[in-house]
Chain A
Amino acid sequence: MNALIIDDSRAMRRVLRRIVEPLGFAVTEAGDGQEGLNQLSEMDAVDLILVDWNMPVMNGIEFVQAVRADTKRRDLKLVMVTTETEPMKMARALMAGVDEFVMKPFTSDILVDKLRLIGVGSF
């Protein structure tokens, strides 16, 4: 299984990597949405994307919209990891094609439960 982690915070990328690698994911990292799109275009198969909302260059929503615009990527599981809690913003993210949210701060159990909820992996 392959996971793409997109966050401008190197710290958060490391935290997320530490959680998903033991679940069997091979992890690729990107520091913003545009870099994420570039990485995605070079990956043969992606099972999961964990993406931050607030990032420079291209934010998480713009990234999700770009991914969902590609019909080949419609089934890809997208989880937004964010501090955003405003209902209108969350609704906007869901409309854009986010499958699930993980609110910062979170525990590894919370993230793993969310992945189970959207049917990623068999852990």
Chain B
Amino acid sequence: MNDMTLMEKTVDTQKIKIAAKDVNVYYGDSHAIKDVNVEIEDKTVTAFIGPSGCGKSTFLRCLNRMNDTIDICKVKGDILLDGEDIYDKRVDPVQLRAKVGMVFQKPNPFPKSIYDNVAYGPRIHGLAKNKAELDEIVEKSLRRGAIWDEVKDRLDAPGTGLSGGQQQRLCIARAVATEPEVLLMDEPCSALDPIATAQVEELIDELRSRYSVVIVTHSMQQAARVSQKTAFFHLGNLVEFGLTGQIFTNPEDPRTESYITGRIG
């Protein structure tokens, strides 16, 4: 495992962006997340790994209350964003999601032009006063999404006409356009080929300089490559959480070791 050399990547201690305390999630009768405590740092890539159905995506979706759209889903415990409880009654999930952006497993651009895909968020949040400002935001976001050079000549073309990897980078640009503070990524590369995956991973590393990034992934190599912190979920429990290098080379829990060596999952 050559990827393990990445453990030498510098990890500065950052301030805590999201703190989850004793989080329990229920889908009707089934207990999906059990007493999870985790602290996600600013300007850091945090990876959630674990076998299918372990609750890592569910937990990710709790962080910007996307689970609200599911009627039977109940969340207990506290999730604090900059010290504020995001499940407080006074919190409007719409405002929260502007701060905590999300990129999904399957690239899901709107069936509109590339420009409109990126401009949609800034438009509904009123981030641009006029067309020139909006143009600027779109260009900046597409550049941050590392897709500007490929699409700058066809901003009016439909976003759905791009290739899978381009679509996913467009979705990242779209998420970045609303200037979020945290970017959640739910298996962003699972539908992409290795080249597109490499491009997106490179992008994630660049995004770290501005945002706190949380990424759910099935690929342990990917977690090792892009993240500084890794959390291992198993059957709804957070088994181990720590520096990525530590988790992959010297895990404390035997379940973590079994998983990363391929014996469970």
A is bound by B: no
Q: Which residues of B contact A (CB under 8 A)?
A: none
